[in-house]
Structures are given as structure tokens and as C-alpha cells.
Structure 1
Amino acid sequence: MSRILLVVLVSMSSLSCAVPTARNTTADAASTAVMSVPGVPTGPGATGEPTFPRTATYFLDQDRLPPMEELARYDLVVLDHEWAHRVPTSYFEGLRSRNPRIRLLAYINLIDRPAALGSPGYWADRYALWQFDGPNSSAFPEEWVATTASGEPVSEWPRTTMTNLADLAPRVDGKMYAEYAAEWVVDQVWSTGVWDGVLLDVWGDRIYSADADAWDVDGDGEDEPDSQIYGPDGPWARGVSVAERLMRERMPDAIIIANGDRSLVDGLLDGRAWESFADPMAERDPGLDLERYLATTAGEGHRLPGVWMTIDRLGAGGSVADTYRRARFFLTATLLSDGYWAPMLLHYGSTAYYDEMDGAGLGHGYLGLPVSEASLQGDAGRTVLRRDFENGIVLVNSGETAEQVYLDRPYRHLQGTQDPRVNDGTVTDEVVLEPQDGLILLRTD
């Protein structure tokens, strides 16, 4: 039995190059659509949580925002925190009025200090965080920057210097950087009142992309190896916990998720995000990614009920049909647990939308609430997983061969326009799932 099937069984017992254009749905059809499937709440479900599928976008363009109707299609929207100062509050109010389900998260990077910035009006938050007093002049304390004992800066991203979040970092005016950074999030970003929470980028127990494997984490003139800096109980993770605890204390109702390999402890974070989720074209192992996703979301340590996000760029498929297959796989794999799926096209400034996200016009959350956890479909050793919802089922083939699936009763395919070869509206009690493909089927009663 594969690792992914094993983890599903364990989690169940513990719980009891063609680019298709994004579907141009209107605000009426995809942003404010009322559910037409009987028995599904039109807003948050009976548990207070949104119904499924849960959709998202990870829009990080710094020069423009899409029209409100475009962003309002999604249930979870991540935007750079600077937009709270660049557009009027009415923009965010307009998003909420068009989609009452929507949750808005501010994208924040507390790790990568830039060498230069533009105008203070356009970069108001970053000027405050990095203490810039001009495009090329900053008073940010050098004690809070990660450097080697010889004074060489440590970087994890081009043209930036990494900060030192460790609890052993030198203090400036009685504060470690982790405390200063958390206070900035509260006082500069959360205080705008437009966000439901924050997404912390490059936020983990370890910074794997750092260009030094030893540096002076405590400012004593000697370099410490990675083994003495990182790890779940290391000074870096302890400093990250200091920042998380301060943010949670001062933002008790905020959604706080990490985009990185961060341990979830003491209910400080709501959840995590996974970039290039299960995408072999991004050198990801689909089975391993799905295993980690299911295990993490079924685990403990996060604030309940949890907020999870998977992110994929779809604009690199070998053909239009292949891109739609990839989209189905990523979305249905996300539906095996409770995450939000964020499809992008070529980059994080190009949104995408697929028939399966709103049932080809049925509306937000057309599947309703889950009535089961993910489980094997068929005999042991097969690679098809299934999860049942109030108004349909999700099937996922994480394997490398096609699988014939016999269903317990007739179900209806979606009636779509993007890939009518798959979503043809027919009723069936058996399907063939291609490798790394998924399918959403609706109940017929």
C-alpha cells in the first residue's frame, strides 16, 4: 500500500504548453450566486464555516488590483498588505458586499529586508517596518540582520538580506526582532481594520533557502551551524513562537497562517499554505504533498477549526485538456481535507477560475458540507480516494495508472463549458479516472 493510502487510513482512525483562459464568470453567477442545490447553506454552513469547494486566490501584483467582481469570485483572497493604504476602504467593503463568504488576508514578509524602496506613500507599511527614510536610506538596526561572524550578510532571496528571528538575536532598545516584527504587524497592518488575518511568507522552523549554512545567530562573533539555529526546539523556532504568541494575544480573532514549513503549536496559528501543491511540473511529489497535507490538517497544534490553503500555477500544461486535468486534480486533492484552493495562471498576478470551483454556475459552496473523511475507494492497494459531501462526492486518483471506479449509486457529472468531454452532465454509476486526475460528481436526488 502506498504512503498516501496509509496516511489516509491513519488519519481516519485518529479522527474516529497551452494556457486556457480563466472562465469569465460574472458577479451574479460566481460572486453573489445563491446556491441552487437543495440543502446547502447560502452563506457559512451550519458549523459557521464555509461550504465546499472553498476557493482562493494568491494575488501579489504590486501595480494593480483586479476589478472587485473578479476577486469576489473567491472565498479566501490574499493581497499584499500595502493595498490597505493604496485603495479606499470602499474597495474592501465592495468585495465583502459581493461575496459575504470572503476572507481577506494580508500578505506579509518579515524575513527579507530590501536594499531599496520606492516612494514612502506607495510603500507606507514597508517604510515603517524597515525604517526607511528615503528610497535608499534605512535606519533598521544591523543587529537584527542575519550576518556571519565576518560580517557577510545572509540572504534567502535576491537583492535582500535575511533578518534574525531567533530568540538569541541581539536586542535593540530591549527588544528582539521577533517582538518588533510582531508589533509592526499589529500596529501597522491589522490596525487598518480591512483584513480578516495575515499570511506570513517564509515562515518556518528553518529557512532552507538561506545562502549560508552557518552564521552568527547570537552576535557573539562566532558562527553557529544550522543544527544549532534551526529545528523545532531551536532558537529560530523559539523566536518565531515569540512573534506568533504576541500576534495571537493582540489579534485574538485574526486568521494567521504560515506559508512555510512551520510546526503548529499551542493554537497560535490557524493553519498553513502549500505552494505548487502536488505539482510534478514544479518538481513536487504529488503523493508526498498529499500525504503531508492530509496529515497536517488532521493533526493538532493549530487554532480550531483551522484554515488551510493550497496554491498552484496552471499556465504550463502540455495542452488545454492537460491543464484542465491538472486543475481538477489539485482542487479535488485539496477537497480531501478542508483547504482552500488557489489556482493561478503563469504567475501570482494572474487569476484563474475553473468550472469545478462553482459547479459551472451552481454557486459558491455547491457541494455543501462534508459528511465523511477521505477514504479508499475500492480494494486496498488502489490509489483512488473518495470524500462524500451533502450534495456530491469527490474522487482523486493519486497514482500513475488509470483506475476504473464503480460507484454505490448513480451520480451526475457537472454540466461544464471548459472541458465538456469530462463535465458533460451525464448520469453514471462508474467512471475511469486517469492518473493524477480528479472528479466531482453530484447526487441525483
Structure 2
Amino acid sequence: MTLKKIVKGLFLIGMVLISAEISRAQDFNPPFPRIGQITFYPAGAGPTIWKNHNMVIIRHYYPDDAKRIKEKNPDVILLAANDALEGNIIKNITGKPLPDEWYIHYADGSKVPFWGGYMTNLSNECPVANYIYGPQRFNQFLAKFLIENTDWNYFDGSLFDTWFQRLKWFVKNLDNVDLDGDGKPDGASIAEERWEKGKKTLVENMRALSPKPILAFESGETYLNGNGFEFWTQETVASRAWNMQKALDLLKNAVSPQMNYANSEAKGYGAVFRADFTSAQIVGAFFGHDEGTYAHRWTFLHDEYEAKLGYPTDPPQTLEENLWIRYYDTGVIISNISGQTKTVSASQLHGGPYWRFQGQQDPVFNNGKKFDTVTLQPIDGIMLFKQPVTLITPIVIDNVPKNMTSLGQNPVDYQGTWTQQDRNNITTDNPAYALFYGWGDFASPYAFSSPGNGENIAHYNPVLSVSGYYEILEWHGWHGKYPNDYQEASNVPYRILINNAPVHSGTIDQTKNYGKWNSLGIYYISKGAKIDVSLTNKANGIVISDAIEFVYKGSKQNQDTTPPAAPRNVKINP
């Protein structure tokens, strides 16, 4: 083979690799709105709940959940969250405690506490210790440990849940910290400098083993691929403005592919949620909404998530200070984080006319009308479209108020004797409709009843703000820890009433079709109609009351407009 052919072959291989990398990078640039979610616990029904999300963040030590999420949503950006800077987490995986040398110490030899454990030492001055892979510093070990203990068949990148951007925010008496283990205090400024260099070395060590993107919560360093804004919801105008500017800076200066995640802990779906959502979209962040930083247990879903905006047509702009606007292929988003009431009129926008979308959750604000003017609250936002559109996220009535009853809806109304399942009596692979089977009032994944004569009734009563056709679907897992623990009923009676008139009834076989939506039919339901879908225990086994879903299908029934095929081999009698 000639040198020319060898060079040509290497060039072609290089072009293939570059093309593959470009193609892969395009996966990190989905259309808007960009929706994400983080959870730190077993996913449960998460793969179904997040099936249309653009980004999901789960713990790296849940590979089975990662597989299920990717199977349901192959295009999702799936990040592997780790809390490995808390040393006890690594011990739980390896079964061996970390060497004492790998923790941060004070000059007197005591370890620096954090969250019931101790802070690990990422600095390049950390003493060498022999652990798992041989003698090395902690930032050498951790890079290899995270890469080897993350299933890259499913995960697309890493996110550090704990990052410790500045030691002074977490370490008392920083002047007395001893990072190099010589028994002498480093001093606060030297400790901070060593800490920052050590974190950068950790990232370099990881990238030497894998090219996958790396993010961190509350970081901001441009040698990462982006930041997780765990506190996107802020009390002050200055903090909100800082978040937006930091997100824009990272999209420009961080390592490619750049991406940010913005987590909202707003209450409900009102003005604060709208401000969080719209500001995140304007700066290109993936947006998620849950109970907040305390646990990240539950997901809140919104009508806005059903939108299809396409891509931005220009950069973010301001109509005035802290009143942001950005245009997209099919609409425009305005976000007011000024702390003052602002009025925006159609004459201030270009590319119109625009319409508010017709929504279920806030039908007064999102009323479907042609846009003329809006008065935004001091912290608020609005999403407008070039064409009239109805956006209704599936409405779920579940057995408890959260996890996963929809915002603005009431949970199941139980009559008779029903038992809310204790999370300790099931396993996390029970396919009930819930996320983490955690603690507190909303931990029960489903309710159940013993068989009887119909005296126990579960009523599902959604409130619908938009008239149209809705598909009604039922979900159940199995009862107990394993599928064969108990005999579920094969003939659970259900009945559907609209304005007290029966429209359909039948039975559900709960011995099969676990962990999926089972259709009970499509029905026209008028705005404000009284709806009652009920289950009873007049059955031949345990009756499970889990979730019922109402999926908006449009204002008109789908009609088959495809003409029939031309007849063949037909003889026409004279």
C-alpha cells in the first residue's frame, strides 16, 4: 500500500470520526422548550413519566433505571449524577472504607465533617494511598471509579451533585485546613487555590478516560460542559439576573457541548413557575420542576411542556432591564424578572400576530385568545404562538396528592376500606405509577382493597377546563413485593359517568398488563363537566387503585381521510 493511500485512508477514518462526533453533539441540541428532570432515587414509573423529556438526571448506580429510560426515550440526554465527594457513598459501592488520607483534615488531624460524613480531598496535594486501583491520589482514583462504575451504554454524561465550588462555603475555620497532610495549616487562600486546581485535574483525568460531558451543581467553571442550577428559583431580582447571565456565559465559554439544567421549586403553576420556565428557555437551559433541593423526589408536569417552539431565531434580548424576550420558529417567550409589574403589548413584538395557548392548568391566563396585551406580575412570564394552539399535559388522578396526581387536581376519593400501600411492603421494581417510594405522606405507590360486594369504591374526579375528546386510561402494578405474592382481581368493575349519566362500564383484568396505560375508551367531555370514573371491590381478588389518566385528543374526533384501495379482481355483472 502506498503512502498516499495510507494518508487517504487515515483522512477518511478521521472524517468518519469527526462526522460521528458532530452527529453525537447534535443530540445535545434538541428543540425548545427544553424539559428535564432530576431524581436521586429509584425511578419507578419515571421512564413513562419522562418519556418526552429532553434531559433526565439519575444516580449513576441505577443502571437498570438508565436502561429503562433509554428504551422508552432513546433521544433523551441521560446524565449520571454522583455524590462521590461524600466518601461514604463510595464505601457503600465498594464495601471498603476510603483511606483516611483521602479526607480533608485540619492541622490537628481531625476530619472536616459534611452531611453526616466527611469531605474528601480533591487537591493535587492529597496524600497518596493504596485503594482498589493501587497507590494514587483521590482525584486520580475518583476519575477511574466514576468512569468504570457508569454504564455508558445508556448514560450520556456525568453530573456532580456535590461539587464544593468554594471551600469557604462548606468548611468552618478554613485557615486551619491541611490539604497536603503535613500537619500544618495551609491558610484559606492557598487551600482555595489548591482545591480549584485539584477539581480541574479530576475533570482532566475523567476526560482522559472518556469524552462524555461533565456538569456539576452550582459550579460555573468553564472547563466543565455546564452547570446544574439547583436553585433556579430565587427570592431576589439580583439572584435571578445572576443565574440568567451565568447560564448565557457558560453557553458561550464552557467546553462543548454546552448545556445547563435549571431546577424550579415554584409552588404550583402560577407566576413564579412561569418566570422560572420562561427565563430558563430564554437562556437555553433544560428546565425541571420538583419539590426542590430537599430531595428531588417528585416531578411536576405542565401544559407548557407540550409546546413545540422549534429553535431560537435570534439571541436573547431585553425590552427593558430584566424584561427578557426571545423569538423562536413558532412563537415568542417573554420573561419578567424585574421585580416590578410590566405591561407588554403586541405592538412591541415583531413577527406577529401571536396567540396565547389554550391550557388546562391556568385557563384564565392561558386562554387561547389572540394576543393584544399582558400585564406581567413582578416575577412572571408568558409563552405565545404564531398560530392558535391547545396545550394540555395528560391529567393524572392518583392515590395520593403528589406522586403523581397532576397539579390543580385532587387525588382519588375513597369510600369504604382502602389501604394505602406501605413502601416497605413492596420492592422498587413494582411497576406502580409513582416515582421514588419514599418517606412522608406521599410515599404510597397505590391503594388496595380486599374483594367484596362493591362496598369499597374509588372515585376519580378530574376537573377539565377545555372541552374536547379525552382518552381515559388505567394503570396498575402488582400487589405486594413480587407478581405472585397475591392474587389480583381479573374482573375489577369500572364505570364512567359524565354529568351523572353512565357512558361506559366494564371490567379490568389486573392480573396482567402491569405497568402500562390500559385504555378505557375515548369520550367527548365538555368544559366543567362532572366526571366520575370509579372502581369497586366487587371482584374475585385484590383490587388495586392506582392512577387514571385523561389524555386530550383534540376538539374533533380523528377521521380516516385515506381513500380505499382500488378494487382488484372484481367482476361486475352486466
Q: TM-score, normalised by structure 2?
A: 0.58
Residue in structure 1 matched with residue 332 of structure 2 by the alignment: 393
Deviations for 1:366-421, whole angstroms, at most 9, x for unmatched residues? 100111111122xx5x4321001101101011112211112333201111100111
Counterpart of 2:221 (choices 238, 246, 263) is 263
Residue in structure 2 matched with residue 177 of structure 1 by the alignment: 138
Structure richer in helix, relative to its length: 1
Q: Is residue 2:107 matched to residue 1:149?
A: yes
| Partner-residue secondary structure (3-state), 2:158 | strand
User: Structure 1 counterpart of 2:148, which letter?
Assistant: D
Q: Is residue 2:249 matched to residue 1:295?
A: yes
User: Structure 1 counterpart of 2:240, which letter?
Assistant: P
Q: Could you say if the C-alpha distance between residues 99 and 188 of structure 1 is closer, same or farther in structure 2, counting changes exceeding 3 Å?
A: closer
Instruction: State the alpha-carbon separation in 2 of the partners of residues 296 and 76 from structure 1.
Output: 18
Deviations for 1:181-207, whole angstroms, at most 9, x for unmatched residues? 00101112245x221111112225423
The more displaced of 390-399 and 75-84 is 75-84
Instruction: State the alpha-carbon separation in 1 of the partners of residues 27 and 84 from structure 2.
Output: 34
Residue in structure 2 matched with residue 371 of structure 1 by the alignment: 313
Cα distance, 1:294 vs structure 2: 2.7
Q: Contact 1:276–1:284 (CA<8 Å) still a contact in 2?
A: no
Residue in structure 2 matched with residue 235 of structure 1 by the alignment: 194
| Partner-residue secondary structure (3-state), 1:54 | coil
Instruction: State the alpha-carbon separation in 2 of the partners of residues 189 and 97 from structure 1.
Output: 17
Instruction: State the alpha-carbon separation in 1 of the partners of residues 354 and 326 from structure 2.
Output: 14
User: Structure 1 counterpart of 2:58, which letter?
Assistant: L
Q: Could you say if the C-alpha distance between residues 195 and 349 of structure 1 is closer, same or farther in structure 2, counting changes exceeding 3 Å?
A: same
Residue in structure 2 matched with residue 96 of structure 1 by the alignment: 70
Residue in structure 2 matched with residue 112 of structure 1 by the alignment: 86
Q: Contact 1:373–1:387 (CA<8 Å) still a contact in 2?
A: yes
Q: Contact 1:113–1:163 (CA<8 Å) still a contact in 2?
A: yes
Segments of 4+ moved more than 6 angstroms: 43-48
User: Structure 2 counterpart of 1:324, which letter?
Assistant: G
Q: Is residue 2:345 matched to residue 1:406?
A: yes
Residue in structure 2 matched with residue 17 of structure 1 by the alignment: none
Counterpart of 1:203 (choices 149, 159, 163) is 163
Deviations for 1:306-354, whole angstroms, at most 9, x for unmatched residues? 111111223xx3xx5xx42221111110111111011113540111111
Work out which structure has the larger RCO, using CA pairs closer than 8 Å and 6 or more positions apart in sequence.
Answer: 1
Counterpart of 1:187 (choices 130, 145, 148) is 148
Residue in structure 1 matched with residue 188 of structure 2 by the alignment: 226
Residue in structure 1 matched with residue 298 of structure 2 by the alignment: 350
Counterpart of 1:127 (choices 71, 88, 92) is 92
Q: Contact 1:277–1:284 (CA<8 Å) still a contact in 2?
A: no
Q: Could you say if the C-alpha distance between residues 46 and 146 of structure 1 is closer, same or farther in structure 2, counting changes exceeding 3 Å?
A: closer
Instruction: State the alpha-carbon separation in 1 of the partners of residues 25 and 332 from structure 2.
Output: 18
Deviations for 1:159-217, whole angstroms, at most 9, x for unmatched residues? 110000001111124411101000101112245x2211111122254232223413111
Q: Could you say if the C-alpha distance between residues 143 and 172 of structure 1 is closer, same or farther in structure 2, counting changes exceeding 3 Å?
A: same
Q: Give the RMSD, CA atoms, in angstroms.
A: 2.5
Cα distance, 1:48 vs structure 2: 6.8
Residue in structure 2 matched with residue 441 of structure 1 by the alignment: 384
Q: Contact 1:204–1:237 (CA<8 Å) still a contact in 2?
A: no
Instruction: State the alpha-carbon separation in 2 of the partners of residues 45 and 278 from structure 1.
Output: 29
Counterpart of 1:421 (choices 344, 360, 364) is 364
Structure 2: where are the runs of 5+ without partners?
A: 1-22, 389-574
Q: Is residue 2:33 matched to residue 1:53?
A: yes
Cα distance, 1:151 vs structure 2: 1.6
Cα distance, 1:289 vs structure 2: 2.4
Instruction: State the alpha-carbon separation in 2 of the partners of residues 113 and 424 from structure 1.
Output: 51
Deviations for 1:241-269, whole angstroms, at most 9, x for unmatched residues? 111111112111x121111334213xxx2
Identical aligned pairs, as a percentage? 21
Cα distance, 1:58 vs structure 2: 1.0
Q: Could you say if the C-alpha distance between residues 384 and 263 of structure 1 is closer, same or farther in structure 2, counting changes exceeding 3 Å?
A: same
Q: Contact 2:244–2:283 (CA<8 Å) still a contact in 1?
A: no
Residue in structure 1 matched with residue 115 of structure 2 by the alignment: 158
